[in-house]
Structure 1
Amino acid sequence: MPEATIRRAGPQDAEVLAEIGARTFSDTFAHLYPPEDLRTFLAEAYDLERTRANLTDPARAAWLVEAEGRAVGYAEAGPCGLPHPEVTPACGELKRFYLVKEWQGGGLGGRLFAEVIGWLQAAGPRDVWIGVWSENFGAQRFYARHGFDKVGEYGFEVGQTVDREFILRRSGVSFSTQGRSDARAQHDFA
């Protein structure tokens, strides 16, 4: 497999991030939703202007993964917006974490994750949160290996469909990005 590069994304990357986000979400989860629910969700979640605004927000950051002249993944992080009583303004969240299927499983996810965690912890240790679909067992195993524990649940809305979403947290202690044991962002891990 050719080498992939990971770089910080900027406003000029909004179109490619919106496209790859919608494509990877659809490739992974479209079979779960009625077409109208999926269309409504994709139009809102990956809106080009919303994506561009996120890329200009100094409290957020995104990384683009490129290989063979095309985008093969991205991640986004920022302040935590998950519905949990222990979330504070100091908490960070891995909001999106995407890799196209053919680029999963070769260590690229670990490299991308390390970039995001490094940014989230740059000012010092803090709690990091992630929402992950209850049926996304691969993502749950990945995050458990990196020190995350399930601390709650909520309903993730995709149109009229409401999925059971787990809330995971890694306490703000200093850990290696390799995790604490050998024991896929949030819902959007693809």
Structure 2
Amino acid sequence: MLIRRAGSGDAQTLSRIASRTFTDTFGHLYPPQDLQAFLSESYSLEACERVLADDACAVWLLEDGGVAVGHALAGPCTLPHAEVAPGDGELKRLYVLLDHQNGGWGGRLFRTALEWLERDGPRTLWIGVWSENHGAQRLYARHGFEHVGDYDFIVGDIRDHEFILRRRAQSPG
């Protein structure tokens, strides 16, 4: 297994792994037409090319034998919370295929993204997480993230209840 920073040539790979992991994790929650519209908008080749071209964001691929089995995306915080400030960072995505979970690689991918977010020093970090994703909430809590708000994540006609988690800037040492 290997974690590597994705580059501009990885848009197709990112589109595939992002669509697959989102569908495997959440696809059962949405009518097929809503899911397909969301995937086409959020994880299309063009959307992935834009993300990879954005210098304010970073994407990592988790690979097993050269095949992507997970990914993470981090960048400036865009969550709808009144206390989000310029310079705050956000873990926007963290997904690993089910058959590659529980081996510690999701945690390594998570820490890689956090290290990148704090590469210029400590800053406040944010995460949006589905209210029913208890495993992810436990992981984030172990790293100091606390529930500070809620919002709706919209896929078609479905509004998922999401938690907004925050970890204030931590002093080194």
Q: Shorter-chain TM-score category?
A: over 0.9
CA distance in 1, matches of 2:11, 2:60: 11
- Structure 1: gaps (5+ residues): 177-190
CA distance in 2, matches of 1:163, 1:110: 25
Within-5 A mapping of 1:5-154: 5-154=2-151
- Structure 2: gaps (5+ residues): none
CA distance in 1, matches of 2:44, 2:28: 21
Q: How many corresponding residue pairs?
A: 173
TM superposition score normalised by structure 2: 0.97
**Partner residue in 2 for 1:187:** none
**Which among 155, 158, 163 is matched to residue 161 of structure 1?**
158
Structure 1 residues 174 and 104: CA distance shift in structure 2, 3 A: farther
**TM superposition outliers: structure 1 runs of 4+ over 4 Å:** none
TM superposition score normalised by structure 1: 0.88
Give 1:41 deviation, angstroms: 0.8
Give 1:30 deviation, angstroms: 1.0
**Partner residue in 2 for 1:171:** 168
CA distance in 1, matches of 2:27, 2:53: 29
How big is the alpha-carbon RMSD for the aligned residues of Structure 1 and Structure 2?
A: 1.1
CA distance in 2, matches of 1:162, 1:57: 28
